[in-house]
Amino acid sequence: MTLLQALQSQGVGSRKVCLAIIDDGEAFIDGEVCTKPKQKVDPERVTFLFEGELCTWQERVVIMMHKPLGYECSARPQFHPSVLALLPAIYRARGVQPIGRLDVDTSGLLILTDDGQLIHRVTHPKRHVPKVYEVTTVDPITPEQLAGLMSEIELNDEPRPVHALEVALIDVYNVRLVIDEGRYHQVRRMLAAVGNRVDKLARTRVGNLSLPDDLLAGQWVAIDEGSIGLS
């Protein structure tokens, strides 16, 4: 791979833009400026400047974010800022996007990537990737409501019933819910269907990947795809 090819693979722009980065002395091999576009390189030794930020070459980007409240999981948000605004400019240029969505009033674990195959593997219904939610309810949770969450629930405009895989009562207002689908506002609609309402909602796990206690809202960290635990 040449230096030019390494930059082109990172989504920084056209061939002309990549050549300009090299000509301006903003591409580096082992920290040393390289101004030769056709220089053969080990891409993992390449760094470069993009919109004033020093970036490291990456074949694929996989990120775990602690999504804060008040952010939309969309590249074209309508009423609130996008979670993509919390990422470096280079990741937005590469087309990094959330795997599934958390609504603006839901916080917690969000995985983002530029790997289309990974997105498909996590979100395809046949994969049945479990997702864990911590739910705080408006009203006290009754035994009947817990049983209802484990039973088949008919949701409006959905082709088939849904149910929780597991339900664990934490206290009278808090429950841990495990589902393996990601339908629109599914957890909120399930609680409404059994006669309660969601006050607070956070996702804490996807597959084998759990949200670390020390990853604060708005923070993110690069992860290995294997940590999600897909088969």
Active site residue 42: no
- pLDDT given for residue 101 in this prediction: 87
Distance from C-alpha of 164 to C-alpha of 149, rounded to nearest angstrom: 6
Q: What is the DSSP letter of 40?
A: B
The residue count for the chain: 231
Superfamily in which the 3-56 domain is placed by CATH: RNA-binding S4 domain (3.10.290.10)
**AA identity, residue 60:** R
Closest by CA position to 112, among listed 100, 123, 124, 97 = 97
- pLDDT given for residue 224 in this prediction: 87
| The CATH number of domain 62-124, selected from 3.30.70.580, 3.30.360.10, 3.40.50.880, 1.10.10.10 | 3.30.70.580
Res 91 pLDDT > 80? yes
Cα torsion 6, 219, 224, 167: sign = negative
98 neighbors 111 (Cβ within 8 angstroms): yes
Neighbouring CB atoms inside 10 A of 80's CB total 13
Neighbouring CB atoms inside 10 A of 108's CB total 22
Enumerate the CATH 3.30.70.1560 domain ranges in the chain, comma separated: 130-206
Distance from C-alpha of 122 to C-alpha of 136, rounded to nearest angstrom: 26
Dmax over Cα atoms in the chain, in whole Å? 70
Distance from C-alpha of 82 to C-alpha of 104, rounded to nearest angstrom: 10
Res 182 pLDDT > 80? no
Catalytic residue among 103, 115, 180, 199: 103
Superfamily in which the 130-206 domain is placed by CATH: Alpha-L RNA-binding motif (3.30.70.1560)
Q: What is the pTM of this model?
A: 0.88
Q: What is the pLDDT of residues 37-57, one digit of tens each?
A: 999 999 999 999 998 899 999
Q: What is the pLDDT of residues 112-123, one digit of tens each?
A: 999 888 888 888
How does DSSP assign 189-223, residue by residue? HHHHHTT--EEEEEEEEETTEE--TTS-TT-EEE-
What backbone torsions phi and psi does residue 120 show, to the nearest 5 degrees? Answer: -65, -40
Summarize the confidence of residues 21-31 as an average pLDDT: 94
